[in-house]
Amino acid sequence: MSLHNKTAIITGGSRGIGAGIAIELARLGANILLTYISSAQKASEIVSQITSSGGAAIAVQADCMDPASPQKIVSAATAAFGARIDIVVNNAGAGDELYLADCTLEHFDKVFYTNVRFPMFLVKECLPYLPRGGRVVNVSSVCARQGWPMQTAYSASKACMESFAKTWAAELGHTYGITVNAVNPGPVATDMWNATPVDAVPGMQNYIDITPAAPRVGEVDDVVQVVAFLCEERSRWVTGSTVCANGGACFV
């Protein structure tokens, strides 16, 4: 129970990697607030799984495009678990894939409001409640460091998440006594992976086949365990880093 009685916010925590993180941090003793946009049933199922195992969890519907969402999330967390937020995992993301020729302002706004503006202002909103020893973990992607077709906006937004980790680590470390890191998964067996456009599959399969750790798609738990470590006390000397969670598909 290395996270006993700590409060953790996990955005996009109703499915995929986010759900796995929520369940694992709850297993380690954390009180969980997970956010979702439209998958209320899935969010309810994750909360039920956590509470039936003796943990504490609530789900909050929060549209990442809505500038009021960060304050809504923080208010819900402090009302449920007290005026302390120990862990913020910025996992929610928009992964729409478009060739540059097909990109629109609406596409750009959706990706950047969701993947960049929302986590930035969520962490800002959490600052008054972050205790010394707090943790922020940003979920990036191998796309932040590698060139992938159809990922103009997405790749740039994930590079921002890694930049946030470095900037916030330098800016907030002494003042707030927290660490800030990023993880960069490659392909992971989630709903987003299953929605990969058909014309992108051959290139993805080749990428998977040459992954150094094993020629397979990543599993949710492969990423979850890295995030969990970064949330624990034993990671206290790791900050400003992007930690690989991709089987060596992207060396940092």
pLDDT digits (tens, 9 = 90+) for 115-142: 999 999 999 999 999 999 999 999 999 9
CA-wise closest residue to 176 among 61, 88, 79 = 88
β partners of residue 91: none
Catalytic residue among 6, 36, 129, 154: 154
**246 Cβ neighbours under 8 A, 6+ residues apart:** 142, 184, 185, 186, 211, 218
Annotated catalytic, 154? yes
Confidence class for position 199, pLDDT limits 50, 70, 90: low
What residue type is assigned to position 114 of the chain?
T
Given a cut of 70, whether residue 193 has pLDDT beyond it is: no
Task: Give the whole-angstrom CA distance, residue 35 versus residue 157.
Answer: 20
Pull the structure tokens for residue 68: 């009021």
Beta strands of 69-217 (E only): which ranges? 87-90, 135-139, 179-185
Would you list the DSSP string of 109-135?
A: HHHHIIIIIHHHHHHHHHGGGPPTT-E
Confidence class for position 189, pLDDT limits 50, 70, 90: confident
Catalytic residue among 14, 69, 141, 235: 141
Between the alpha carbon of residue 171 and those of residues 168, 184, 193, 207, the distances in Å are 5, 22, 35, 36
Catalytic residue among 69, 140, 155, 235: 140
Annotated catalytic, 141? yes
Q: How many CA atoms within 13 Å lie on the side-chain side of 86?
A: 20
Annotated catalytic, 158? yes
Given a cut of 70, whether residue 219 has pLDDT beyond it is: yes
Annotated catalytic, 124? no
Q: Residue 200 has what pLDDT? A: 65
Q: What is the pTM for the complete model shown? A: 0.94
Catalytic residue among 158, 176, 235, 241: 158
Given a cut of 90, whether residue 96 has pLDDT beyond it is: no
Q: Residue 168 has what pLDDT? A: 98
* Domains of the chain as residue ranges with CATH: 7-245 (3.40.50.720)
